[in-house]
């Protein structure tokens, strides 16, 4: 058995007539950390949504643990051990913090239940103080902790974070990065999209850069960190 978790082969995704992804190849293995980089509008979110079946690619294949999930409904794809923290967070404001966590709880692919309610509480003590509050009462940072905590309740092998620190105060963002590092240490693979290049490249071993729906770089994070030209050319504003 190979340890491949999620793969995309030759993905082409459209929104109506606009061709967004131009034949993207992607793969992530067990335990790997990937920084998915690129300027705004380059197709990072679209790539994630395409692989999860939230947006349907027009061509290409999606494999989860080696099995074809190209046409699988989203819930089946993510049930194979994938947790998704979307851009804009996606908490349920009409549910309490406790309910947001409880409704997502399930065992992992191999039946593992390491991430219990109590462990999530221990990881995010601030959520404990807010446990009976409605989701709508949380600050931006607390909402982000809740979405990450909720993702962990599914005992995933792969955690996808799309712009997790967007709009957060620097100190709160730092707290999020600290927690993500802790989560990485437990062996969960992570795919991270974020504007903070130094943070993501220090957390992830691999980096991938998208420009206009094409992969222009796929290599080690070190290479990106040590090559200012690369950042200037593809990521600078």
Partner 1 sequence: MDFASFLIQTLNSLQYGLLLFLVASGLTLVFGIMGIINLAHGSFYMIGAYLAFVLASLTGNLFAAIALGIPLALLFGAFLEWALFSHLYKRDHLEQVLLTYGLILIFEEVRSLLVGDEVHGVDIPAVFSASIQLSEVLSYPVYRLVISAVCIVLAVALYFVIQRTRLGMMIRAGNHDRVMVEALGININMIYRVVFALGVALAALAGMLAAPISSVFPNMGSHVLIISFVIVVIGGIGSVWGALVAALVIGFADTFGKVLVPELSGMVVYLVMAAVLLWRPEGIFKKG
Ligand X SMILES: Nc1ncnc2c1ncn2[C@@H]1O[C@H](COP(=O)(O)OP(=O)(O)O)[C@@H](O)[C@H]1O
Measured distance CA(172)–CA(138) in Å, rounded = 13
- Taking the CB of residue 223, how many other CB atoms lie within 10 A of it? 13
Measured distance CA(4)–CA(196) in Å, rounded = 27
Q: Which is nearer to Mg ion, 45 or 201 (CB)?
A: 45
Of residues 103, 122, 131, 169, which one binds partner 1 by CB under 8 A? Answer: 103
Binding string to partner 1 for residues 142 to 181, with x set by CB under 8 A, is what? Answer: --------x---x---------------------------
Q: What angle do CA 186, 192, 195 make, to 5 degrees?
A: 135
Burial 196-219 (b: 16+ CB within 10 A, else e): bbebbbbbbebbbbbbebebebee
Binding string to ligand X for residues 34 to 73, with x set by CB under 6 A, is what? Answer: ----x-xxxxxxx---------------------------
Phi, psi of 2, deg, nearest 5: -80, 160
Q: Which is nearer to partner 1, 34 or 153 (CB)?
A: 153
User: Which tokens go with 145?
Assistant: 């902790």
SS3 51: helix
Of residues 11, 35, 37, 45, which one binds Mg ion by CB under 5 A? Answer: 45
Applying CB under 8 A, which part among 24-32, 99-107, 187-195, 229-237 lies near partner 1?
99-107
Closest to 43 measured CA to CA, from 211, 218, 219:
211
Minimum CB separation from ligand X for residue 150, in Å? Answer: 21
Residue nearest to Mg ion (CB): 45
Find where tokens 């850069």 sit: 209
Q: Which is nearer to Mg ion, 155 or 190 (CB)?
A: 190
Minimum CB separation from ligand X for residue 155, in Å? Answer: 27
The verdict on 191 binding ligand X (CB under 6 A) reads no
Find where tokens 């960190």 sit: 225
Residues that bind Mg ion (CB under 5 A): 45, 87
Residues that bind partner 1 (CB under 8 A): 52, 54, 73-75, 78-79, 83-84, 86, 90, 92-95, 99-100, 102-104, 106, 150, 154
Residues that bind ligand X (CB under 6 A): 15, 18, 20, 38, 40-46
């Amino acid at each position: 058995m190979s340890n491949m978790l999620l793969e995309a082969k030759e993905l082409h995704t459209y929104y109506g007539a606009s061709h967004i992804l131009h034949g993207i190849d992607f793969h992530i293995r067990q335990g790997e950390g990937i920084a998915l980089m690129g300027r705004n509008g380059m197709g990072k979110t679209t790539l994630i949504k395409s692989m999860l079946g939230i947006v349907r690619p027009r061509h290409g294949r999606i494999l989860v643990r080696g099995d074809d999930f190209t046409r699988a409904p989203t819930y089946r794809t993510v049930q194979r051990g994938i947790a998704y923290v979307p851009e804009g967070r996606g908490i349920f404001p009409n549910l309490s913090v406790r309910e947001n966590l409880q409704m997502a709880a399930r065992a992992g692919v191999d039946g593992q239940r390491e991430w219990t309610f109590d462990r999530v509480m221990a990881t995010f003590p601030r959520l404990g103080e807010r446990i009976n509050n409605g989701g709508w009462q949380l600050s931006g940072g607390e909402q982000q902790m809740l979405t990450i905590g909720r993702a962990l309740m599914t005992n995933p092998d792969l955690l996808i974070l799309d712009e997790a620190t967007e709009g957060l105060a620097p100190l709160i963002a730092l707290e999020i990065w600290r927690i993500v590092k802790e989560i990485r240490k437990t062996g969960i693979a992570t795919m991270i999209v974020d504007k903070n290049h130094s943070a993501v490249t220090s957390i992830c071993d691999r980096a991938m850069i998208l420009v206009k729906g094409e992969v222009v770089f796929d290599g080690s994070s070190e290479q990106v960190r040590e090559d200012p030209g690369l950042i200037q050319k593809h990521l600078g504003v």
